[in-house]
Amino acid sequence: MKIIKLVPCLLLFISGRIFAQDQANITISLNNKIGDMYPFWAWFGHDEPNYTYMKDGRKLLSELATLSPVPVRMRVHNLLTTGDGTAALKWGSTNAYTEDASGKPIYNWHLVDSIFDTYIKLGMKPYAQIGFMPEALSTHPKPYRHYWKPGDNYDDVYTGWAYPPKDYNKWEELIYQWVKHCVQRYGQTEVESWYWEVWNEPNIGYWKGTMKEFFKLYDYAAHGVKRALPTAHVGGPEVAGGSSPGGMKFLNAFINHCIADTNYATGKIGSPIDVISFHAKGQPTLINGRVRMNMAPQIRDIREGFKIVASYPETKNTPIVIGESDPEGCAACGMATNPSNAYRNGTMYSSYTAASIAREYQLADSLGINFMGSVSWSFEFENQPWFYGFRDLATNGVDKPVLNVFRMLGMMKGKRLKVTGDQMYSLKTVADSSIRGNNTDIGALAAADKKEMTVLLWNYHDDDLHDAGKTVKIKIGHLPPTFVKLTQYRIDDEHSNAYEVWKKMGSPQKPTATQIKELEKAEQLQQFGKQVTLQAKSGLAGATVLLPRQGVALLKFSW
Residue 183 included in any domain: yes
Residue 15 included in any domain: no
Sign of CA dihedral 501, 506, 507, 510: negative
CA–CA gap between residue 177 and residue 179 (Å, rounded): 6
Whether residue 102 contacts residue 131, with contact meaning beta carbons closer than 8 Å, is answered with: no
545 and 473 in a common domain: yes
Between residues 490 and 19, which one has the greater pLDDT?
490
421: containing domain: 23-33+414-558
Domain boundary among 206, 240, 271: 271
Residue 201 catalytic? yes
315 secondary structure, DSSP code:
T
Non-local (6+) Cβ contacts of 60 within 8 A are 379, 380, 393, 394, 397, 399
pLDDT given for residue 488 in this prediction: 97
What confidence category does residue 48 fall into, taking pLDDT thresholds of 50, 70 and 90?
very high
Residue 118 included in any domain: yes
pLDDT given for residue 480 in this prediction: 85
pLDDT given for residue 92 in this prediction: 98
Domain boundary among 251, 271, 291: 271
106 and 165 in a common domain: yes
- Going by C-alpha positions, the residue among 471, 435, 441 that lies closest to residue 459 is 441
CA–CA gap between residue 67 and residue 293 (Å, rounded): 27
- Scored b (16 or more CB within 10 A) or e, 440-472 reads bbbbbbbbbeeebbbbbbbbbbbebeeeebbbb
State how many domains the chain has: 2
154 and 29 in a common domain: no
Domain boundary among 271, 301, 334: 271
Phi-psi region at 123: left, alpha or beta (left = phi > 0; alpha = psi -120 to 50): left
Q: Is the pLDDT of residue 11 over 90?
A: no
> How far is CA 268 from its chain centroid?
36
98 and 203 in a common domain: yes
Q: Phi/psi of residue 274, each to 5°?
A: -95, -10
Non-local (6+) Cβ contacts of 125 within 8 A are 71, 72, 73, 74, 119, 193, 194
Strands 43-46 and 398-399: unpaired
Over residues 193-208, the pLDDT tens digits come to: 999 999 999 999 999 9
pLDDT given for residue 97 in this prediction: 98
Q: What is the mean pLDDT of residues 550-555?
A: 98
168 and 264 in a common domain: yes
537 and 419 in a common domain: yes
What is the rounded average pLDDT for all residues in the chain?
94
The CATH number linked to 502 is 2.60.40.1500
136 and 27 in a common domain: no
pLDDT given for residue 537 in this prediction: 76
Q: Is the pLDDT of residue 240 over 60?
A: yes
266 and 196 in a common domain: yes
End-to-end C-alpha distance for the chain, whole angstroms: 15
User: How many C-alpha atoms does 231 have within 13 Å on its Cβ side?
Assistant: 8
pLDDT given for residue 1 in this prediction: 38
Say which of 172, 197, 201, 380 is annotated catalytic: 201
pLDDT given for residue 479 in this prediction: 87
Q: Is the pLDDT of residue 20 over 60?
A: no
CA–CA gap between residue 487 and residue 15 (Å, rounded): 12
The CATH number linked to 175 is 3.20.20.80
> What counts of helices (H) and strands (E) characterise the chain?
12, 26
Residue 312 included in any domain: no
Strands 371-376 and 43-46: parallel
Residue 16 included in any domain: no
- Scored b (16 or more CB within 10 A) or e, 285-317 reads eeeeeebbbbbbbbbbbbbbbbebbbeeeebee
Q: Is the pLDDT of residue 167 over 70?
A: yes
**3-state SS class at 373:** strand
CA–CA gap between residue 15 and residue 18 (Å, rounded): 9
Strands 415-421 and 441-449: antiparallel
CA–CA gap between residue 41 and residue 447 (Å, rounded): 15
210 and 110 in a common domain: yes
With both helix axes pointing from N to C terminus, report the angle between 110-121 and 55-67 in degrees, rounded to the nearest 10. Answer: 40
What confidence category does residue 481 fall into, taking pLDDT thresholds of 50, 70 and 90?
confident
What confidence category does residue 542 fall into, taking pLDDT thresholds of 50, 70 and 90?
confident
Q: What is the mean pLDDT of residues 91-98?
A: 98
**Cut 0.85: pTM above it:** yes
pLDDT given for residue 534 in this prediction: 83
Q: Which amino acid is at 292?
A: R
pLDDT given for residue 536 in this prediction: 79
Between residues 129 and 466, which one has the greater pLDDT?
129
Non-local (6+) Cβ contacts of 493 within 8 A are 346, 347, 466, 500, 548
pLDDT given for residue 344 in this prediction: 97
What confidence category does residue 7 fall into, taking pLDDT thresholds of 50, 70 and 90?
very low
Over residues 324-363, the pLDDT tens digits come to: 999 999 999 999 999 999 999 999 999 999 999 999 999 9
pLDDT given for residue 8 in this prediction: 31
Helix H, strand E, coil C: the string for 374-441 is EEECCECCCCCCCCCCCCECEECCEECHHHHHHHHHHCCCCEEEEEEECCCCCHHHHHHHCCCCCCCE
Strands 394-395 and 398-399: antiparallel
Q: Is the pLDDT of residue 18 over 50?
A: no
pLDDT given for residue 351 in this prediction: 98
- Alpha-helical (H) ranges within 426-553 are 427-433, 498-504, 513-522
Over residues 119-164, the pLDDT tens digits come to: 999 999 999 999 999 999 999 999 999 999 999 999 999 999 999 9
Over residues 379-399, the pLDDT tens digits come to: 999 999 999 999 999 999 999
157 and 27 in a common domain: no
pLDDT above 70 covers a percentage of the chain that reads: 96
Over residues 448-464, the pLDDT tens digits come to: 999 999 999 999 999 99
